[in-house]
Structure 1
Amino acid sequence: MRPNVLVVFLDDHAQWALGCYGNTEVQTPTLDYLARTGVRMRNAFTPTPVCSPGRAAFLTGRLSSQHGVHDYLNVWDPGVNERNWIADELTLPEVLHDHGYTTGLAGKWHLGRSFERAPGFDFWYELADERANQEHLDSPWQHFPGFRGGYNRHAVTDRAIDFLRARDEEKPFYLHVGYVGTHSPWENRPERHVSRYRQCTFRDVPDDATYPFGRMASESLMPTRRDRRETLAQYYASATEVDEQVGRLIDELEAQGLRENTLVVYTSDHGLNMGHHGIWGKGNGTKPYNMVEESIRVPLILNQPGALLGDQSRSEMVTHCDLFQTILDHTGIALPEKTLRERNYPGRSFAPLLAGGHVRGWPQEVYGEYGNLRMIRTRTHKLTLRYPDGPAELIDLAEDPRETVNLYDDPRHQNLVVDLTGRIERYFGQYEDPGNSGLRVASLPQHNMEEVWRFPDTDSIWWE
């Protein structure tokens, strides 16, 4: 039987906020264990550093300028939520379902029509929409009531475990678990966790000067940001709490004897700044939008005992588009040639790396976009272009890891600017769909930076 796949997809869990990625104070023992006995990708990136586009990139294996989702989707806007924004795409769960997998989602979707099962899913527990959490869908799966009054990470895990216990044991499964615990507002986390962090030094979080290439998002929307220490204590507590929930999932797999035939993947839709560079947020934490390292780097841990070579820390540069291809490769599923031509996938499988091997000619750079912003990130430099009029940034990451000096107009670096600009243009020229291109951003409806959305019947403000 093909391997099972469990994908734990976080919201705002930055790469720097895990012990296995070098944080010396946050406690994430389950994730550290999975990294130690599995594969940790040190240089994993999101193609777009904001929620909905980052999720769409993983689920479709394609860029924003292909699938057309360029910004976060306000799920409480009926006009937004009535549409499935990736309806024209071929998603990972659809492919797996067509190859005999039982498929389920527990947690966050954030790509529209959260009140109904997305194509390719047998089981659906979406935490954001009241209608979805109060109705029974026309499916063999029970649809469970939601949690009124805020986010309930236990309900997400409970429903995921229900899926694991009710599945057809004769078929492989794909389970997508979407926690949002690390998302703002950073308050009201369990005191048993928060209390342990209030005495931390937070030495792993640079208290940087203000981002030099734009203005900050309004701090008035998130009062918790005004107390740096308390906010960080709450965020660290969130990471520990999520770690506990992942532990529950691993325990269930082990209890059912599924660990050795289940690929476990842990990642996040994008990174996060918690005061880094003076920013509180991700790519939309500044205006113009940013591509700082903390925004674009994501954790990526893969674990399957006996199938993956454990205790690996890989340096290859990978994105969520590559992860899409890797999961298909690992499950032994090859897309038809016609699909490959029509979809024009930018990602490549790094499955050989998971067994300790190599992939010949693996790229030494990654690309990103956010609306009319496009970026190339090499081993040593990062070029960010904003079309058509800038501003643009060239950063020497080796000499200036805190990204404080813009070398774009420096005469000594013009050859590099020309080279990297050409590479960006060739890359997007190869992969973008002109009808969905981010360069059409000026003619597309745009979200205002100060937009907020609220859970029904609560005062919890969620910044996207």
Structure 2
Amino acid sequence: MLPLPPNSIVGRVAAGVILASFLSWMQNPAKASPPNLVVIIADDLGYGETGMMGNAEIPTPAIDALARSGVRCTSGYVTSSYCSPSRAGFLSGRYQSRFGYDLNPTGERNHHPNAGLPPEQSTFVQHLQAAGYQTSLIGKWHLGTRPPQLPTAKGFDRFFGFLHEGHFYVPGPPFENVWTMLRDRSLAAGQFQTNGNTIRGNYARINEPAYDANNPVLQDSQPLDEWKYLTDTITEQAVETISQSASSPFATVVSYNAVHSPMQATLEDHESARHIQDPQRRIFAGMLIALDRGVGRILETLDHHHLRQDTLVIFFSDNGGPTAELTSSNAPLRGGKGSLYEGGVRIPMVWSMPGVIPADAEEQTPVLSLDIAATFLPMALNDSPPNNLDGINVLPWIGRDTPPSARPLWWRMPRGARALRQGKWKFVQARKDQPIELFDLESDLSESEDLSASHPDRLQELLAVWESMQTDMPPAKTLQ
């Protein structure tokens, strides 16, 4: 079903009914059950990969159904194009640069004192925990490994998952019951070798990292030696957690590592993608199929416990997709993971809460991952959110034809990378030694035409806004 035109009579009436319902709910919180929150995070999922974004190659029926039940945000954004700082922004509700966290630790650097959320930086989940919510983090953390930084120290009653940036999807080697594709620089450039269900190839800049080194799968604090295919295991744990929490207000973050490398798909999911000939793309498709199945099972669980109308469900990717190791598509956007072009920071995003958020709608106004904290805390606590949050409450306008005035979206990343969007205009400086480019996203979504020379005054306006916000940010931390 296509979204209703936002200015049609039917669209305005439907939006008006839901807006009135939302305002009534907010004005009479005592008459309503405290709302629940389920945030589903995909990892490195490209903007153009799902059916809801027009891609029919890989079936994503559950994600598409979630989009039909709510608002598909075609201008959904995160605060970094790398995993760790993006997740730090989401959970703190603040630009992560406000506490100097622009970096993305990998491997052993996850144990560096500067890696992860600073011990003094709180999360919005801690406010929910203090208010009596049952809180859980299932899946990938990537926000520190020292005791003051662990999920259970940052507001989560329960944690199942791993602490680093990635993890193999099954125990091994040998990797059983999966198709695996590994980067191997010992081979000649462009060479591939297949041994059973494992493909090795020199097709990217690095060897496959030792993701599991000093990075066990944890049940709270206890390492597990055995688990099923990790995407399915995360789903099982999320379903169990939601079922156990169904009788009380809960906030559950389901933090998948799919479709992040390493590339591993179950034999069944690989077989269901047999229409795809390219072996790399086929394994990726199997990984996405498993992720979509997980989304479907979570929604089925909410329906089984009659919780959909009481639960705000948000789906988004922590950044845009890389291409060399995953094939993940950001079409029609430019750039990808690690970039401040749209392909790095504009991501697939859905907000759904039947009766409060319009169904089968599209929102073109930018929605930021920081808005999750700023939106849900007033719903849950019947009070204003902390005044240090950088997001805004989107419920009064999301999916309707009354968006707020354009706000600046601000980015700072390592090596002098920076960007700012306000309204239709965006500047990007890819590195400190690179030129500053200006784009009109309304007419040039792929950021192909640099307008800095023809609109110098507009560029200076955006730069002044960026510099004004930069004055509030401390220097970026390093892992040196």
Q: TM-score range by the shorter chain?
A: 0.7 to 0.9
Distance 2:469 2:400 in 1: 29
Q: CA deviation at 1:242?
A: 0.3
| 2: CA distance, partners of 1:426 / 1:387 | 20
Q: Deviations over 1:42-61 (max 9, x none)?
A: 10111111000000110001
Identify which of 113, 120, 125 aligns with 2:155. Answer: 120
- What per-residue deviation string (whole Å, max 9, x for no partner) do you get for residues 254-302 of structure 1? 22222221111111111114269x999999978xx52122111112111
- Whether the 8 Å contact between 1:127 and 1:151 is mirrored in structure 2 is no
1:173 is aligned, of 250, 253, 258, to 250
- Residues 41-87 of structure 1: CA deviation (Å, up to 9, x unaligned): 11011111100000011000111221322121225446338965232
User: Is 1:423 the equivalent of 2:465?
Assistant: yes
Relative to structure 1, the CA distance from residue 189 to residue 168 in structure 2 (aligned partners, 3 Å threshold; closer, same or farther) is closer
The structural deviation recorded for 1:29 is 0.5
Q: Which residue of 256, 261, 281 maps to 1:184?
A: 261
Long gaps (5+) in structure 1? 138-142, 202-228, 447-464
Q: Provide the rounded CA distance (Å) in 2 between the counterparts of 1:163 and 1:136.
A: 13
CA distance in 2, matches of 1:292, 1:123: 36
Q: Give the CA deviation at 1:396.
A: 4.1
Specify the SS of the correspondent of 1:103: strand
CA distance in 2, matches of 1:398, 1:82: 39
Question: Shift of the alpha carbon at 1:420?
Answer: 1.9
1:273–1:294 CA contact under 8 A, matched in 2: no
- The alpha carbon displacement at 1:179 in A equals 0.7
Q: Which amino acid aligns with 2:473?
A: D
Structure 1 residues 447-462: aligned runs within 5 Å: none
Residues 131, 176 of structure 1: CA spacing in aligned structure 2 closer, same or farther, 3 A cutoff? same
Match of 2:46 in 1: 14
| Aligned-partner Cα distance in 2 for 1:5–1:11 | 19
- In 1, distance between residues paired with 2:110 and 2:90? 25
The CA deviation string for residues 232-268 of structure 1, in whole angstroms up to 9 with x for no partner, is 3332332221010111111222222222211111111
Contact 2:144 2:163 in 1 (8 A): no
1:214 aligned partner: none
Q: How far apart are the structure 2 equivalents of 1:422 and 1:118?
A: 38
Q: Percent identity?
A: 26
- CA distance in 1 between partners of 2:295 and 2:219 (Å): 27
241-250 vs 159-168, which moves further: 159-168
- 2:237 counterpart of 1:159: yes
Q: 8 Å contact 1:39–1:354 — kept in the other structure?
A: yes
Aligned to 2:363: 314
Distance in 2 between the 1:20 and 1:86 partners? 36
Task: Give CA-to-partner distance per residue, 1:131-165, whole Å, 9 cap, x none.
Answer: 7746765xxxxx683646x9611221122222223
The aligned amino acid for 1:37 is S
Aligned partner of 1:455 in structure 2 is: none
Q: Which residue of 1 aligns with 2:411?
A: 368
Q: Which residue of 2 aligns with 1:58?
A: 90
The within-5 A match list for 1:274-285 is: 274=323
Structure 1 CA distance for aligned equivalents of residues 146 and 160 of structure 2? 9
CA shift at 1:95, angstroms? 1.0
1:193 lines up with 2:269 in the alignment: yes
Distance 1:164 1:320, change over 3 A: same
Does the aligned pair in 1 maintain the 2:231–2:256 contact within 8 Å?
yes
2:426 is aligned with 1:382: yes
TM-score normalised according to structure 2 size:
0.72
| Aligned residue runs from structure 1 range 39-188, under 5 A | 39-77=71-109, 79-80=111-112, 85-113=117-145, 116=150, 117-128=152-163, 133=217, 145=224, 147=226, 152-167=230-245, 169=247, 171-186=248-263, 188=264
* Alpha-carbon distance between aligned partners in 2 of 1:317 and 1:74, rounded to the nearest angstrom: 30
Question: Residues 396 and 389 (structure 1 numbering): CA distance in 2 closer, same or farther, change over 3 Å?
Answer: same
What is the TM-score normalised by the length of structure 1? 0.75
Aligned counterpart for 1:403 among listed residues 444, 447, 471: 447
Aligned pairs, number: 392
Contact 2:143 2:163 in 1 (8 A): no
In structure 2, C-alpha distance between the alignment counterparts of 1:31 and 1:387, rounded to whole Å:
35
Counterpart CA distance in 2 for 1:395 and 1:81 is 38
CA pair 232-81 structure 1, distance change in 2 beyond 3 A: farther
Aligned Cα root-mean-square deviation (Å): 3.3
AA at the equivalent of 2:411 = G
Kindly provide the CA deviation profile for residues 181-238 of structure 1, in whole angstroms up to 9, marking residues without a partner as x: 211233x31344334545459xxxxxxxxxxxxxxxxxxxxxxxxxxx4333332332
